[in-house]
Structure 1
Amino acid sequence: METVLVSLGSGLLEAFQPLNLMMIFAGCLAGLFVGCMPGLGSVNGVAILLPITFLVPPTTAIIFLAALYYGAMYGGAISSITLGIPGASTAVATVFDGRPMAQQGKADQALMAAAIASFIGGTVSIILFTLFAPPLAAFALKFGPQEEFALMLLAFATFIGLGGDDIPKTIFSILLGLVLAAVGFDIISGSPRLIFFDMVEFQRGIGFLVLAIGIYGIGEMLWTLETTSGKVQMHNVKISMSRMKENFKQIRQYINSTWLGSFLGFFVGTLPAAGATPAALMSYGLSKTFSKDPDSFGKGNVAGVAAPEAANNAASTGSMLPMITLGIPGSPTTAILLGGMIIWGLRPGPLLFTESPDFVWGLIGSMYVANAVTVVLNIALIPVFIRVLAMPFTLLTPIIFTLCVLGVFATTDRMFDTWIMLIIGIVGYLMRKLNYPVAPAVLAIVLGPLAERSLRQSLISAQGDATTFITRPISLVCICLALALVLFPVVQRILRKRKKAAESRA
């Protein structure tokens, strides 16, 4: 323990070097901008700015990119709350309650909750990273395809909580998401599937960001225009120190969801190929399932903002753990960071802690500093962010539409995807109009490909024996937890009915 503290102290001293501190600030600020721009996200931001880092020493370079990664995780909540457009897939769950809160004049509370939850999630994950990096990395290696599928099954079990009381509509929404996620080539045979109208463009599949921006950007915009006839004036929140203090005191309303998201996010983030998006979605679903007031989720519950934001920030740190200790990227962004480390002449793996301790502990020390810098920047810029909400929606509509089109086209460089985004937007609007939940469809689009890949890998390795999922301890535990989550709302509903019946008799 003493050795860890000494090494951490040297890492913090490295992070406070003038050049490194300046790069942390620049990375956090750039990350906020990258994260809040639809279509960019941390992956594109790190990829675009990677060449710049070759001008500075390797430690400074990784510190800058890690700070940018952190800032992007924070920044994704900004557009999700103020515009209802997720800046990246990691911020989709933040839209569910963040956007309703903004429409109710609570944008500052939502942004404050997102910043504080992100800070707590980041801090918890960094502490866990510092203390338990080697054993946690070794445990993550025990997750084969069977365990990954069981974990995805556990994530799907949270859909019951997201679907409300209308289970058939929830199932339809999930199936629609799974169908859209399956478009493209079969991952085993390579044969094309669901190529609608024999159009060659569908062979590349439908990107998640295309679907998310369509549903939550275009679909939400059309719904708002219809329900308000374009006459809505967004709430102009007046920011003052007393209101900021009041928002800060409300942390006890979402602290439990924040702790849940922090630990769950870090654990899921450490698993290779899992990443922050499943962590955020699972955290949101579990928070709603175990909430005392689950019906308020999706209507502006501050815990629905805090849970996914804590999880995606914790997962971003967790995904660096297998990259540093094993040389296995835990997310697409860390895969780019891994490539940068190799270019810088570093060899990620178990020996990195002994061969390049200054580099490793400088990175860990910079995480603490970047986490503090980003939360300060985020809270300080809240008045700037909510100025967007002072604009009339008739003026905001063309801005949202332009951002959606540019976000999709800049990501895929295909006009076909832009048209698909517009069509998906209309489908999302019709689902809202017919009272179908859109959240389960979005979750299925994200988790469907991950679940399919691990399922088919498991069955191939077990020669078609489905019992492989219950003969492995970790997989069995996850499946049992999934069953418990499915049954929990049913049991809860039965108990409520009995309680009401007893009260009516009394």
Structure 2
Amino acid sequence: MDALFSLIHGFGVLADPMNIVYMFVGIFLGVLIGVLPGLGGANGVAILLPLTFSMSPTSAIIMLSSIYWGALFGGAITSILFNIPGEPWSVATTFDGYPLAQQGRAGEALAAAFTGSFLGAFFSTLLLTFLAPLVAKFALQFGPPEFFAVYLLTFCAFVGMGKEPAYKVIAAMMLGFALAAVGLDTVTGQLRMTFGSTELLRGFDFLVAVIGLFGVGEILLTMEEGLAFKGRSARIDLRVVLKVWKDMPKYAWTALRGAIVGAWMGITPGGATPASFMSYGLAKRFSKNGHKFGTGEVEGVIAPETAAHSAGTAALLPMLTLGIPGSPTAAVLLGGLLIWGLQPGPLLFVEQKDFVWGLIASIYLGNIAGLIVVLSTVPLFAAILRIPFSIIAPIILVICAVGAYTVHNALLDIAVMLVFGVLGYLFKKLQYPLAPLVLALVLGDMAESSFRQAMLVSQGSLSVFWSNPLVGSIVTLALLMLVWPLLSAAMASLKRGTPRVASGE
């Protein structure tokens, strides 16, 4: 009941007309970002974050989160009409979405995708509304050992539960830790890895790094591939939308299953991309039309889109309550909160109640606004895709440079952005994941600080991480996740070896 009263209060905070304007502007920009390959939710939020510095934190986070919701919606447009995933999590949408468009059912596929996205987000927003305050209250008991244990769990989960090879995740994470350590040591006041350079005293700003890694890196890769847009035109009229909504009860279990999978993958550091593939795979397995998946099934569009949007929304739960982002975009939003002087964690629900509940209320309205915007502007965004990429790419690079410069009004940051852009390009070419690097860059300082405080309290004894059942269980779970790839490989090897032993070979 307290959560409901707080949510009503949040809608009161949102009632400021300018916040509504920022929300619609964010949604529109987000859909545009989601439509254009080479950008994305994390990139768009990172590039536009400097433009919000003059706003109040509440207005700024409403606009930035709306960009995220819009990007989640927009990725489906290119996937269905052009067979080009606008976002990584939209890859699974192409499997059935593009065949539907080729059959002349593009409007039906888009309406199903947008409706599924809305339902997935609504499910996770309800979860966020009622679960976040409970998690925050529980987390008030945390001290430095507990916080380090949670950071460790996040890092280890990326290693053990990610789809990329563990050695690549660890390598990316180690580089992120090294970059996070550059600059002034906040505990001792010593300079670290500045090599006599005064420009490196403040370290590598995560925002400049993210703009380079995601924005510039993706543009370089896309330019190399010579991307050209060829697709179908589409129009969504009310008759098509009502037909899809009438058929939605048939796909209720698919949508619910996708929402649950997405919420789980968003709260844990799985992310929207694996959630969309997992939901698609489950839908294909349990559907009576599973054998037709890949030829143009509406259910094959609803499943991945519901999971992706659910995961994207659920990623905010650990970010707000524990300061642990569940996705790269949540990591960028976390950095924005720190820039505005807001410390994500359990105290945020006590000290910044207006901010938290205004944000949660904006998610409800933002998704309704996003659904309306995408249903009514598909032809416009499809037309934008017919602009040659040779024109779009320089515009995006200029926006990236402006975004990087405005962080500290320093030309050096543009050079740093370009260096990180080349690094991002190399990571993508070598198929190394960027999310662990960004995670380590954002959380590295806080994890180090928590660890050192815990060591000071325990006089250097690691036993502090097993000093009570809470911290001990979290650390044990983290170590289990870290070695999980080895354990699963060993179990698979034993399973393969059992028949040979039984037959006396």
TM-score w.r.t. length of structure 1: 0.66
Contact 1:82 1:99 in 2 (8 A): no
Q: CA deviation at 1:38?
A: 3.7
* Matches of 1:9 and 1:121, distance apart in 2: 15
> Cα–Cα, structure 1 residues 143 and 253, in superposed 2: closer, same or farther, change >3 Å?
farther
Q: Give the SS at the match of 1:476.
A: helix
Q: Could you tell me how far apart the structure 2 residues matched to 1:195 and 1:81 are?
A: 44
Identify if the C-alpha distance between structure 1 residues 21 and 189 changes in structure 2 by more than 3 Å, giving closer, same or farther.
closer
Describe the shift of the 1:137–1:193 C-alpha distance in structure 2 as closer, same or farther (beyond 3 A): same
Structure 1, unaligned stretches of length 5 or more? 52-61, 84-93, 266-278, 295-299, 321-329, 340-347
1:395 maps to 391
The separation in 1 between residues aligned to 2:251 and 2:499, in whole angstroms, is 33
Query: Aligned pair in 2 of structure 1 residues 45, 456: CA closer, same or farther (>3 Å)?
Result: same
| Whole-angstrom distance in 1 between the partners of 2:155 and 2:200 | 26
> Do the aligned residues in 1 keep the contact of 2:118 with 2:368 (CA within 8 Å)?
no
Partner of residue 148, structure 2: 149
Letter matched to residue 119 of structure 1? F
Which residue number corresponds to residue 330 of structure 2? none
- Find out whether 1:194 has 2:193 as its counterpart: yes
Task: Find out whether 1:50 has 2:56 as its counterpart.
Answer: yes
Which of 23, 26, 31 is matched with 1:31 structurally? 26
CA contact (8 A) 2:216 2:421 kept: yes
Matched to 1:224, the amino acid is: T
Question: Deviations 1:85-132 (Å, cap 9, x if unpaired)?
Answer: xxxxxxxxx954358978998796887765554333223222446xxx
Contact 2:272–2:311, Cα closer than 8 Å, also in 1: yes
1:151-185 per-residue CA deviation (whole Å, 9 max, x = no partner) reads 11111112225765643333222211211121111
* 1:425 corresponding residue in structure 2: 421
Task: Please give the secondary structure, in 2, of the residue aligned with 1:30.
Answer: helix
Within 5 A, what are the aligned runs for 1:275-286? 281=269, 283=271
Rounded to whole Å, the distance in 1 between the matches of 2:71 and 2:175 is 26
Cα distance change on mapping 1:303 and 1:488 into 2, 3 Å: farther
What letter is aligned with 2:260?
W
How far apart, in 1, do the equivalents of 2:372 and 2:462 lie?
Answer: 50
Distance in 2 between residues matched to 1:352 and 1:430, nearest whole Å = 40
Q: Give the equivalent residue in structure 2 for 1:325.
A: none
Decide whether the 8 Å contact of 2:275 with 2:308 is kept in 1. no
Pick from 120, 128, 139 the counterpart of residue 125 of structure 1: 128
Cα shift at 1:80: 8.2
Task: Tell me if the contact between 2:158 and 2:270 (Cα under 8 Å) persists in the aligned partners.
Answer: no
Q: Which moves more between the two structures, 438-447 or 395-404?
A: 438-447
TM-score (norm 2): 0.66
Contact kept in structure 1, 2:156 and 2:482, CA below 8 Å: yes
Residue equivalent to 2:455: 459
Query: Does the C-alpha gap of structure 1 residues 367 and 185 become closer, same or farther in structure 2, counting only changes over 3 Å?
Result: same
Code of the aligned partner of 2:171: F
> Matched residue of 1:195: which SS?
coil
Q: Are the structure 2 counterparts of residues 385 and 102 from structure 1 closer, same or farther at C-alpha, using a change threshold of 3 Å?
A: farther
Give 1:481's aligned residue.
477
| Contact 2:153/2:478 (<8 A) preserved | yes
What residue is the counterpart of 2:69 in the other structure? 74
Aligned-pair identity (%): 27
Gap regions ≥5 residues in structure 2: 34-42, 79-85, 99-108, 283-300, 324-332, 343-347
Equivalent in the alignment of 1:406: 402
* Root mean square deviation of aligned Cα: 5.1
1:190 is displaced (CA, Å) by: 1.4
Deviations 1:204-251 (A, max 9, x none): 11112222221222222222222x2x3x21353544445994998888
SS at match of 2:56: helix
Contact 1:157–1:482 (CA under 8 A) maintained in structure 2: yes
Question: How many residues end up aligned between the 2 structures?
Answer: 434
SS at match of 1:205: coil
**Alignment partner for residue 236 of structure 1, among 217, 227, 231?**
231
Change (3 A) 1:214 1:113: farther
Do structure 1's residue 309 and structure 2's residue 312 form an aligned pair? yes
Q: Which residue of structure 2 lines up, in the alignment, with residue 97 of structure 1?
A: 89
